[in-house]
Structure 1
């Protein structure tokens, strides 16, 4: 299996020197609920935890561990500052990858790694008095894939998520742990097809859906950039929003923020020239979760969206060249369904059709 390819660009995460956390990472070994695949349960409780704290589930990459993600990201240090709890699940497979493929993990309360993680969340709410309205999830690579899975399988538990270099919910579905068609960006579906797949993960569910923030590098050759385009189609359909505008150089130079609707339900970040994976932007994640500040373009506090009762989309033909009206930077969007921008691609790039929903200056 090709798990080893997912290590590219990830070793740096274990080498980042993070500020020492005030408390220590604890393993929960008592029975915390249904855990059919024996996912490891590690938790960080800061010395000064707030009353009814928020919870962030932080999920590692392939070949990673709960300890590596604890040490290689800043979430524990930020928990010391803001008083929230961090759950660090540990994948049970020898390769350290999450089960994002089985029917069980893709289905609400049916099994797989996702059920073990859901049980950790329920245990933490019950045992530590955590605020059930402030449960969040994030992850890198395989952990980003699991973020997508949890958003589809357990929308009743999570309020928001942030995924760094993942794939859409259901993209890896099948009997094999690795899906080359998905990984190389060759699994293309309509927004409606992707949305229907998410809704099938929890049949009959009509409650709130988590707001989502996606990050992906344009030159990712492990989980290709096309996966961000497919995520955009999938979750914009599920959340009932359409693309509104792009903000260039946000939050960093050569990043593009793609805003859907008013930006309080779904945003995506395209990182030009970045491979696998996009560096974790903890401060932007905490802003998105509402723990600190606000990155929402409309300002104010976001609330979770409600699943739309109608998710029909109107098919239109994507443009193959942008209209006059300014310069669109390389890798920027230049056409597609609901695209209302204008301009011409920067010198050296051409507006290239990807699918009916997205054309890009390449």
Structure 2
């Protein structure tokens, strides 16, 4: 059935109504949008000022929420007013024991043309193309928690429809084994022990549309480091899935901190195009998106330019620093104690230390800092109690790691973007 929907979408993309009705800039419910096996409700926000073929963004709430609630509690509608895109707000109707959630667990929902919520959402997109002249070549998905899970779900099911997605606090596609595996506390997926190989995660996506060779949707991932409801470690599982789908290395091509507390890893292809990017939001629990994150998502989609960051909000660049790294290794494990010395004249207030672990090393635990990646390029960011390093002062941090025979130290360190002397 969804193959038919996809065909209708392609046709609808070429047939913009000659005369559109006037729309008030308010949230509107649509009751007859097409095939709706999930029994979902559809609300849509169409800004007064928009281009002839505006982009379409599907914005999805978390468990227990609703489309109107996500409209009121997120920044996507105000961004739509500013940049002229349509926002679809689906409301999930599937009861999951703790409120209504988007179905990302059933066999029907994990099968293209299978039914349930994904079919309903595809119908909503088709309707937006027909009724409002939405550009079906610029369709994007985003959502929080259950909506973040559905975001990754839709990117796997409809790589020919969605061009990109931004998932907040989600899980990889095919993480849930079934309805009994969904509720937190009893779920293998969100129970804190989920660990598959990148190949296994990638194969789960490739099986959905066998033989598909077209472009894949670009993926943006967000997760709070203090999230325990949907554990933070699932961010790494999602990274592994999508980098594998794109055939990319597990090592990021770049890493930075575009906003204080937002540690970003980017994974670019051979042309330099970023296909996957992941944000570790320091100290955040199950509370995303917070202010400014919707704008970053819209920028990732390409609807707007990347939002500028006031220079004063970025961690200061240190002029001089020195790092000492002491490693104690055994069999296939090691500990590393890193001392950061501020050898400059000014105080450092807020810091991030970036270094690259030798191949085969993986951090399993750490102290006195938060670590944004377990292997490859690592960003260690200050804890609340050691953010300030006075002139000639120092801070010591450390971690424990496994290794496969190479227990060497990183060869270079940068503190707030500036190279440090290594002793």
TM range (shorter): 0.7 to 0.9
Aligned ranges for residues 303-342 of structure 1 at < 5 Å?
Answer: 320=334, 327-328=353-354, 330-333=369-372, 336=375, 339=376
Whether the 8 Å contact between 2:223 and 2:235 is mirrored in structure 1 is: yes
2:241 corresponds to: 234
Residue 109 of structure 1 and its aligned partner are, at CA, apart by 1.6
**CA distance in 2: counterparts of 1:354 and 1:268, whole angstroms:** 24
Question: 1:95-125 CA distances to partner (integer Å, 9 max, x unpaired)?
Answer: 1211010111111121111111011112212
1:156 maps onto 2:164 in alignment: no
TM-score normalised per structure 1: 0.78
Distance of aligned partners of 1:251 and 1:344 in 2 relative to their CA distance in 1, 3 Å threshold:
closer
Of residues 228, 253, 259, the one that matches 2:260 is 253
Aligned ranges for residues 19-58 of structure 1 at < 5 Å?
Answer: 23-30=25-32, 32-58=33-59
Residue 204 of structure 1 and its aligned partner are, at CA, apart by 2.5
Whether the 8 Å contact between 1:59 and 1:138 is mirrored in structure 2 is: yes
1:129 corresponds to: 133
**CA distance in 2: counterparts of 1:353 and 1:344, whole angstroms:** 21
Aligned ranges for residues 234-313 of structure 1 at < 5 Å?
Answer: 234-242=241-249, 243-245=251-253, 247-248=255-256, 250-261=257-268, 262=272, 264-280=274-290, 281-294=293-306
Residue 342 of structure 1 and its aligned partner are, at CA, apart by 9.7
Residue 275 of structure 1 and its aligned partner are, at CA, apart by 0.8
Distance of aligned partners of 1:276 and 1:344 in 2 relative to their CA distance in 1, 3 Å threshold:
closer
Question: 1:249-294 CA distances to partner (integer Å, 9 max, x unpaired)?
Answer: x232122101112462100001121111233411101110111103
1:83 corresponds to: 84
2:16 corresponds to: none
**CA distance in 2: counterparts of 1:260 and 1:222, whole angstroms:** 27
1:182 corresponds to: 189
1:191 corresponds to: 198
Question: 1:28-54 CA distances to partner (integer Å, 9 max, x unpaired)?
Answer: 112x22211211111111112211110
Question: Which contiguous aligned blocks of 4+ residues in structure 1 show a shift greater than 6 angstroms?
Answer: 322-326, 341-346
Whether the 8 Å contact between 1:321 and 1:344 is mirrored in structure 2 is: no
Whether the 8 Å contact between 1:183 and 1:222 is mirrored in structure 2 is: yes
Distance of aligned partners of 1:111 and 1:342 in 2 relative to their CA distance in 1, 3 Å threshold:
closer
2:177 corresponds to: 173
**CA distance in 2: counterparts of 1:229 and 1:347, whole angstroms:** 26
Whether the 8 Å contact between 2:335 and 2:398 is mirrored in structure 1 is: no
1:206 corresponds to: 213
Distance of aligned partners of 1:126 and 1:272 in 2 relative to their CA distance in 1, 3 Å threshold:
same
**CA distance in 1: counterparts of 2:378 and 2:113, whole angstroms:** 42
Whether the 8 Å contact between 1:323 and 1:343 is mirrored in structure 2 is: no
**CA distance in 1: counterparts of 2:91 and 2:232, whole angstroms:** 26
Distance of aligned partners of 1:342 and 1:256 in 2 relative to their CA distance in 1, 3 Å threshold:
closer
Query: More displaced, 137-146 or 198-207?
Result: 198-207
Distance of aligned partners of 1:156 and 1:322 in 2 relative to their CA distance in 1, 3 Å threshold:
farther
Whether the 8 Å contact between 1:324 and 1:343 is mirrored in structure 2 is: no
**CA distance in 1: counterparts of 2:379 and 2:39, whole angstroms:** 51
Structure 1 gaps of 5+ residues are 1-21, 296-317, 356-362
SS at match of 1:182: coil
Larger Cα Rg: Structure 1 or Structure 2? 2
**CA distance in 2: counterparts of 1:181 and 1:348, whole angstroms:** 33
Residue 151 of structure 1 and its aligned partner are, at CA, apart by 0.8
Question: 1:296-347 CA distances to partner (integer Å, 9 max, x unpaired)?
Answer: xxxxxxxxxxxxxxxxxxxxxx9855798984493335653xx266999973
**CA distance in 2: counterparts of 1:202 and 1:292, whole angstroms:** 31
More strand by share: 2
